[in-house]
Amino acid sequence: MADFLGLMKQAAELKSKMEAMQAELDQIEVEGTSGGGLVTVKLSGKGEVKGVKIDDTLMQPSEKEILEDLIVAAHTDARRKAETLLQDKMKSVAGGLPLPPGMKLF
């Protein structure tokens, strides 16, 4: 019975840590870039787009397709960084246990 109570206490502590981490993720921002810094996408720690910066040299009708590709690439870069950050935070919260493969939190 003592083991069960200890397990329940650990579960409550983990829940508390997860709630704190979720609040922290709202405050964290990561940036992804593409085109050598010509396009930058800023995401929250939860993966929400917070901003996009586009270099003026790309603002030409002939550059439209390139710009669209660079925005997608910058978003992908930022998302990868956010996922890495989230994995690191989860390891610290879960006592070093990694997330199961394929598990996404956002």
Query: What are the structural domains, with CATH classification, of the chain?
Result: 2-93 (3.30.1310.10)
CA distance 39 to 33: 6
This prediction's pTM: 0.67
78 neighbors 39 (Cβ within 8 angstroms): no
Q: What does residue 8 show for φ and ψ, rounded to 5 degrees?
A: -65, -40
75 neighbors 67 (Cβ within 8 angstroms): no
Lowest average pLDDT, out of 9-13, 41-45, 85-89, goes to 9-13
Query: Could you read off the pLDDT of 22-41 as tens digits, one per residue?
Result: 777 778 899 999 999 999 99
| Residue corresponding to tokens 């109570």 | 5
CA distance 53 to 42: 9
**What pLDDT band is residue 74 in, cutting at 50, 70 and 90?**
very high
